[in-house]
Amino acid sequence: MKDAAHWLDALRDLDIATPIRIMNVCGGHERSISVAGLRTALPEKIELIPGPGCPVCICPEEDVYEAIQLALHEDITLVAFGDMLRVPVNAPKREPRSLEQAKAAGADIRPIASPTEAVRIANSDPARTVVFFAAGFETTTAPVAAMLSEGAPKNLLVLLSGRLTWPAVAMLLESEAPGFDALIAPGHVSTVMGPEEWQFVVDKHGLPAAIAGFRADTLLAAMYSVVEQLQSGRRALDNCYPEVVRPGGNTLARRQLDEVMQVYDANWRGVGVIPRSGYRLREKYAAHDSRRVFRSYADESRKRVGEMPPGCDCARVVLGKVYPNECRLYGLACTPRKPIGPCMVSDEGACRIWWSSGYRENRWEGRRQEKTNV
């Protein structure tokens, strides 16, 4: 593969007349782009927009609330990926507003890094029910499916908040103003699900798309691909990460997903319901489904139920409508030390990535109107 400098030169050699907006939909891509400083290295006319790439950010507020209430009211151990513990919900004052606060209030809540850890915790005390609050995109949800397919301990239940990435891109493309001209498709989602999932961007919407890995060379190769396509009129889904993205993806993993879960129209925090964008457990796994085993703690009377915290622009950041530093609170009231919204909590949240890579200026004053109007 040619190196990053080669692709950067190739991109600089292109004569780009009108601005080109390239969206990525993966927190890992956004991190590599920010850390490698690609935004400043690229020609000015190329705009890189972080899109729906953070599963923690769009995990329904109601689901986080449910997890908190389960941990507080049922005799269980609740385990969740570490990022989920600090995600804030809109609970009334004096009530815990995150899993971390519920833990401080005495609930048995533990961060885990893998479904195998959930299995180990459940096995260590078979008399105690363990609920695994599992939020994530395909790459994370497939291992959860594998865990259940392999045969999880009886006392291990799953509170599933799995989401698919492509339906969010489809929703944007079907809207009046998608806000981007080309797509960099996620490398590890494609590793599991296969590159074919992204073909619709090209076939149905006529936009160039390329799958990228996480090093600067593959990201730049993908960017060159889509810009060259826009200029030449060629249209294709280019695979710039063939080392691990193979036709059909990981077919066994996809079979396991399909055996354990079914796709349904699911809610995204601050965004609303996106058709065919969520996973839920099939009937066959009802005994492992926390939503079927426990009563629901949903409380529709809560203020701002389902929404982002007051003042937080995460939903529009996630949809690529504004840049992180165009939020009024960015870097002022909201920093990784004292995050207000999930985009500053999660390692994959665009706000946190931008802050950690050194963007310190708040651009709320100078912000554009919705980027779609540019």
Partner 1 sequence: MCLAVPMKISSIDGFLCVCEARGIKREVSLFMLQDDSLKVGDHVLVHVGYAIQKVSDQEAAESWQLFDEMLATENTA
Binding site for partner 1 (CB under 8 A): 26-28, 31-32, 35-36, 53, 55-56, 81-83, 113-117, 136-137, 139-140, 142-143, 146-147, 149-150, 188, 191-192, 213-216, 243-244, 246, 250, 252-253, 256, 346-348, 356-358
Name the H helices within the chain: 4-13, 27-35, 38-41, 55-58, 61-73, 99-104, 115-124, 138-150, 166-174, 187-193, 199-203, 216-232, 251-260, 290-293, 314-318, 342-345, 350-356
Residue 242, C-beta contacts closer than 8 angstroms, at least 6 positions apart:
none
x/- letters, 299..338, toward ligand SF4 (CB under 6 A): -------------xxx--x------x--x-xx---x----
Quote the least distance from Cβ 338 to ligand SF4, whole Å.
Answer: 10
Quote the least distance from Cβ 112 to partner 1, whole Å.
Answer: 9
Give the single-character DSSP code of 372: G
Cβ proximity to partner 1: between 113 and 127 the closer is 113
Write out the DSSP string of 330-342: BTTTB-SSS--SH
Quote the least distance from Cβ 300 to ligand SF4, whole Å.
Answer: 24
Report which residue type is found at 98.
S
Cα 69–chain centre separation: 24
Quote the least distance from Cβ 238 to partner 1, whole Å.
Answer: 18
**Binder among 220, 351, 353, 359 for ligand SF4 (CB under 6 A):** 351
x/- letters, 84..123, toward ligand SF4 (CB under 6 A): ----------------------------------------
Gap between the Cα atoms of 355 and 360, Å rounded: 6
Cβ proximity to partner 1: between 248 and 275 the closer is 248
Quote the least distance from Cβ 43 to partner 1, whole Å.
Answer: 23
341 binds ligand SF4 (CB under 6 A): yes
Rg of the Cα atoms in the chain: 21
Write out the DSSP string of 130-158: EEEEEEE-HHHHHHHHHHHHH---TTEEE
Cβ proximity to ligand SF4: between 71 and 312 the closer is 312
Strand order in the sheet with 237-239: 46-50, 20-24, 182-185, 209-211, 237-239
**Residue ranges that bind ligand SF4, judged by CB under 6 A:** 312-314, 317, 324, 327, 329-330, 334, 340-341, 343-344, 351
